[in-house]
């Protein structure tokens, strides 16, 4: 929905001078903007690590509530969607292993409902076999994207280190990659790209490259939604999220200015705070600074939760974002209260008052969101470094 249509909807909501309805319409719009559906299919032979990958991508541990079941034998017996804990519009579908009794290779795509998926991740813990290749070729024929992921790399490296006297990690990784690529080429796959991944250490090996590849090949609106749902596996990912959020600030500020054009005292401030609450909640969730995400990070990295909390500066992390909290933080910022008061006061200026109110509303929303984004992004970087045992000095 374009901003013009959005403004028209708000104006309709104002016909009865109903502030609550106007704020509700704003919230509905913001929710719609951030609900782009993404459906990712994760498949491969049984025991390849599909379920562990699904859990890791969602930032949860195998033992957490809502985790995809894992085990040494095939645990996925039907097509099962798993929602991202912070972005339920992003679903990872754990598919039964290709070639299992109820999902034969010949009609696998039809059985799993291939048309619902944006792309496929084909996982193998050893080498990619005939069924994997056949599936990839059929996916390609359906004009869908697929990606080969070689899993359990951490286990391979440990085994090689034990068995080799002159072990070299980089050489071993390249040998694994070459072996997979050559095997796929022998089976007729042209120019295959294989990503080496450890679901227990996503910040290592090729997961970052895999995420970059997703971004480069998805439509813009889907790319944005997927980026926000990606786990914070590197400082680069955090920076990308910040830039994605930053690109929307001018848009939100323009919408705020549109509401300020309505000659209803108190409405613009109410809507502005509603927008701030919604967008700041996006920032907190996207950066993994909400309490459940921080607890999962503490559990997976064995860094105590209290130590992660201790290095966070913003009072908006690990708490429920409310209008009262947002206003409290803003009132501590120089000039913010004056901007809000000036906007309301300008309404009583004849002729030019509404234009002044629009300008002040734009400036207020833009500055407030920029401030929140900067502080939360810095906190996300501190938490990332602390979780990985890196230097956390700023």
Distance CA 282, CA 288 (A): 10
Q: Which has the higher per-residue pLDDT, 393 or 144?
A: 144
Distance CA 283, CA 276 (A): 10
Query: By the 8 A CB rule, do 293 and 312 touch?
Result: no
Give the mean pLDDT of 209-221. Answer: 89
Q: Residue 378 pLDDT more than 70?
A: yes
pLDDT, tens digit, 9 for 90 and up, residues 331-341: 776 555 555 54
Closest-CA residue to 383 (of 300, 289, 291):
289
Which residue reads 């209008």 in tokens? 323
pLDDT for the residue numbered 394? 39
pLDDT, tens digit, 9 for 90 and up, residues 254-312: 777 766 655 555 455 666 787 888 899 999 999 999 999 999 999 888 999 999 999 99
Confidence band, pLDDT 50/70/90 cuts, at residue 15: low
CATH superfamily, region 38-229: P-loop containing nucleotide triphosphate hydrolases (3.40.50.300)
Q: Residue 46 pLDDT more than 60?
A: yes
Distance CA 206, CA 181 (A): 15
- Inter-CA distances, 63 with 60, 307, 345, 359, Å: 8, 22, 55, 51
Distance CA 89, CA 58 (A): 12
For residue 360, the Cα-to-chain-centroid distance in whole angstroms is 32
Distance CA 161, CA 389 (A): 24
Q: Which of 98-102, 162-166, 344-348, 353-357 has the lowest mean pLDDT?
A: 344-348
pLDDT for the residue numbered 263? 54
How do the domains of the chain map onto residue ranges?
A: 3-33+232-387, 38-229
Q: Which has the higher per-residue pLDDT, 300 or 320?
A: 320
Distance CA 22, CA 16 (A): 10
Query: By the 8 A CB rule, do 148 and 124 touch?
Result: yes
9 backbone dihedrals φ, ψ, rounded to 5°: -60, -40
Q: Residue 393 pLDDT more than 50?
A: no
**pLDDT above 90: percentage of residues in the chain:** 41
pLDDT for the residue numbered 151? 94
Query: By the 8 A CB rule, do 69 and 75 touch?
Result: yes
Query: By the 8 A CB rule, do 263 and 354 touch?
Result: yes
9 contacts: CB under 8 Å, gap ≥ 6: 25, 29
67 DSSP 8-state letter: P
For residue 312, the Cα-to-chain-centroid distance in whole angstroms is 20
Q: Which has the higher per-residue pLDDT, 91 or 394?
A: 91
pLDDT for the residue numbered 326? 87
Q: Which has the higher per-residue pLDDT, 71 or 282?
A: 282
pLDDT, tens digit, 9 for 90 and up, residues 234-257: 999 999 999 999 998 988 887 777
- Find the farthest-apart pair of alpha carbons in the chain and give their distance in angstroms, rounded: 85
Q: Which of 121-135, 175-189, 286-300, 357-371 has the lowest mean pLDDT?
A: 357-371
Distance CA 241, CA 233 (A): 12
**Within 10 A of 311 (CB to CB), how many other CB atoms are there?**
13
CA angle 201, 204, 206 (to 5 degrees): 115
Which residue reads 């803003």 in tokens? 330
Out of 14-28, 124-138, 269-283, 350-364, the most confident range is: 124-138
Q: What stretches of the chain adopt beta strand conformation (E)?
A: 38-44, 80-83, 90-94, 119-124, 145-150, 194-196
Q: Which helix (H) or strand (E) holds 338?
A: helix 336-346
Confidence band, pLDDT 50/70/90 cuts, at residue 342: very low
Give the mean pLDDT of 72-77. Answer: 58
């Amino acid at each position: 929905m374009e901003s013009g249509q959005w403004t028209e909807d708000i104006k309709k909501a104002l016909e009865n001078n109903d502030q609550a309805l106007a704020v509700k319409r704003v919230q509905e719009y913001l929710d719609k903007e951030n609900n782009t559906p993404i459906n990712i299919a994760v498949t491969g032979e049984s025991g390849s690590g599909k379920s562990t990958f699904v859990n890791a991508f969602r930032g949860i541990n195998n033992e957490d509530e809502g985790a995809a079941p894992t085990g040494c034998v095939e645990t996925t017996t039907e097509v099962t969607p798993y929602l991202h804990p912070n972005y339920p519009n992003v679903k990872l579908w754990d598919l039964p292993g290709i070639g299992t009794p109820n999902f034969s290779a010949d009609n696998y795509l039809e059985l799993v409902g291939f048309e619902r998926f944006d792309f496929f991740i084909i996982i193998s813990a050893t080498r990619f076999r005939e069924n994997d290749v056949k599936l990839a070729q059929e996916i390609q024929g359906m004009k869908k994207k697929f990606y080969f992921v070689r899993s359990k790399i951490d286990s391979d490296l440990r085994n090689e280190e034990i068995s080799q006297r002159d072990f070299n990690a980089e050489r071993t990784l390249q040998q694994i990659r070459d072996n997979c690529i050559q095997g796929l080429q022998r089976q007729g796959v042209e120019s295959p790209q294989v990503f080496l991944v450890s679901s227990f250490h996503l910040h290592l090996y090729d997961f970052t490259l895999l995420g970059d590849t997703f971004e480069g090949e998805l439509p813009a609106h889907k790319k944005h939604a997927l980026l926000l749902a990606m786990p914070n596996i590197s400082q680069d990912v955090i920076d990308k999220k910040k830039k994605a959020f930053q690109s929307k600030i001018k848009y939100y500020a323009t919408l705020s200015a549109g509401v300020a054009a309505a000659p209803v005292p108190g409405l613009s401030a109410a809507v502005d705070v509603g927008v701030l609450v919604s967008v700041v909640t996006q920032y907190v969730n996207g950066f993994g600074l909400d309490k459940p995400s921080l607890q999962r990070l503490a559990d997976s990295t064995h860094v105590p939760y209290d130590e992660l909390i201790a290095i966070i500066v913003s009072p908006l992390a690990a708490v429920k974002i409310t209008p009262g909290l947002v206003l409290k933080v803003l009132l501590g910022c120089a000039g913010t209260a004056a901007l809000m008061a000036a906007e309301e006061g300008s309404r009583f200026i004849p002729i030019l008052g509404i234009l002044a109110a629009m300008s002040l509303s734009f400036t207020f929303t833009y500055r407030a969101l920029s401030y929140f984004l900067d502080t939360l992004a810095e906190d996300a970087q501190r938490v990332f470094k602390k979780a990985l045992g890196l230097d956390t000095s700023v």
